[in-house]
Amino acid sequence: MIPSSCSHAPIGAGIGLRLPHLAEIVATPSVVFSTKSSKRSWLEIHPENFLANPHATELLLEARRDFPVSVHTVGVSIGSAGGIDRGHLRRLRSLIDRVDPFLVSGHLAWSTHESEFLNDLLPLPFDEEALHLVAAHIDEVQDALGRPYLIENPSSYVGFAGSTMTEVEFLGELVTRTGCRLLCDVSNIYLSAHNMGYDARQYLDQLPAGAIGEFHLGGFTPEEDEAQEIVLVDTHAAAIAQPAWDLYAYAVERIGLRPTLIEWDNDIPELATLVAQAARADEIVSNVFAQRHQLLEVGLAAVG
């Protein structure tokens, strides 16, 4: 039986823990505690970075004593028509049982074809066949991991002409059919809306707010493609852009407080830079709730 909710989830912003920062965080956890967001700090890992690295796993378990940890898979390939790699799920389960994360998540994407792993998050058509397959795979993954598995909205550059529903409709239907929860990557929404030509706020409005268990924020890189169009590429190699911060504020206002992760996977900066980005996310949350409180006071005063 998979528990339907996650206990002990931290409420502040966390950072993606990548191997170059691991030893530093273990040696001086206060580096991450140094902002006003201190007691709410947490870390997220990609388990695939640890499965074949016993030394890193040993350090991770040390870090786990100081921080709540969530696990964000990048290799499950939940949309593969050829099925899920059960050997990989067994390895994940073994690590997850040791780390005891407060959340486990992955992507609405596919990466494996037959026995090849293509090391990218590839797009799915949004139709009944894919919906049926992904829903079955979510059940399989949740059973294999013994935990709820949150599904993250993708970053999109292409779609499929044969799709019969929008991405947000597809995610909503997944929630209805499986009871799964969602990881709302705010930067992905901004990026995909730009690349695919839809309205990011409207997308957020359509997401089932109660199903969202986590926010992600990552940096993207604008590039001019061969057709002379500016495409936003989900590089996770830069600071969060202002439009993504603005959309995050809107998401918090609309959906509420959720654990929020700062992702930075390439050209990884000093830990202090990540901590500063996390502090900014916390500040935005504070501002949203301060405004809400102010409005409430004004409203109460008017009634009084």
Residue 2 CB, shortest distance to another protein, in Å, is: 22
Q: Report how far residue 54's alpha carbon sits from residue 65's, in angstroms, rounded to the nearest whole number.
A: 17
Binding of residue 125 to another protein (CB under 8 A): yes
State the Cα–Cα distance between residues 79 and 72, nearest whole angstrom.
16
Q: Binding of another protein at residue 82 (CB under 8 A)?
A: yes
Say which residue the tokens 């170059």 belong to.
Answer: 20
The full length of the chain comes to 304
Q: How far is the CB of 77 from another protein (least distance, A)?
A: 7
Does 51 help bind another protein (rule: CB under 8 A)? yes
Which region, judged by CB under 8 A, interacts with another protein, from 25-33, 44-52, 136-144, 240-248?
A: 44-52
What's the start-to-end Cα distance of the chain, in Å? 50
Q: Is 56 in the site for another protein (CB under 8 A)?
A: yes
Within 13 Å and on the Cβ side, how many CA atoms surround 260? 28
Angle at 72 between CA 142 and CA 214, to 5 degrees: 85
Cβ-based nearer residue to another protein, 198 or 289: 198
Which amino acid is it at 69? V
Contact partners, residue 97, CB within 8 Å, separation at least 6: 146
Q: Is 24 in the site for another protein (CB under 8 A)?
A: no
Buried b (16+ CB within 10 A) or exposed e, 75-106: bbbbbbeeebbeebbebbeebbeebebbbbbb
Residues 233-272 that bind another protein (CB under 8 A): 233
Q: Give the per-residue contact string, 83-122, with another protein (x = CB under 8 A; - = no).
A: --x-xx--x------------------xxxx-xxxxxx-x
Binder of another protein out of 8, 229, 242, 302 (CB under 8 A)? 229
> Residue for token digits 């040390």?
62
Scan residues 158-177 and list those touching another protein (CB under 8 A): 158-162
Binding site for another protein (CB under 8 A): 48-49, 51-56, 58, 74-77, 80-82, 85, 87-88, 91, 110-113, 115-120, 122, 124-125, 129-130, 133, 156-162, 195-196, 225-229, 231, 233
